[in-house]
Amino acid sequence: AQTVTQSQPEMSVQEAETVTLSCTYDTSESDYYLFWYKQPPSRQMILVIRQEAYKQQNATENRFSVNFQKAAKSFSLKISDSQLGDAAMYFCAYWVPNAGGTSYGKLTFGQGTILTVHP
């Protein structure tokens, strides 16, 4: 079974500083995708960044970047120049197509990391 582990229940960062959120996953699949979602107090789930497992290059979206270590099954999110609006719960998620013979790709979430940004 696929599992996603976020070992940091809470993290904090000063405004304008950099913070890294950790995520590890367990899989025997070779074809999969990894995502980071942000959930602010409004509860809306917002896609932050996506990484395809077959790509060696780490994904980057403006101030957000990932460190994808496929052999170590690690997928951390780095937020640079942190802003007050970055404060939210962050979820790491793993997607594998046609998991277990189902007709859809199974998306598995970690438990989340609460990020606090201090002014």
Size of the site for another protein (CB under 8 A): 24
Least distance CB 104 / another protein (angstroms)? 5
Tell me, residue by residue from 56 to 85, as one string, x for binding to another protein by CB under 8 A and - for no binding. ------------------------------
Least distance CB 44 / another protein (angstroms)? 6
Single-letter code of the amino acid located at 112: G
Dist. CA 61–CA 72, nearest whole Å: 23
Among positions 13, 112, 115, 117, the unique one binding another protein when judged by CB under 8 A: 112
How many degrees, rounded to 5, is the angle at CA 17 between CA 14 and CA 19?
90
What beta strand segments (E) does the chain contain? 3-5, 10-14, 19-21, 24-26, 33-39, 46-52, 60-61, 64-69, 74-79, 88-96, 106-109, 113-118
By the rule CB under 8 A, 44 interacts with another protein: yes
Footprint on this chain of another protein (rule: CB under 8 A): 4, 33, 35, 37, 42-47, 50, 91, 95, 97, 102-107, 109-112
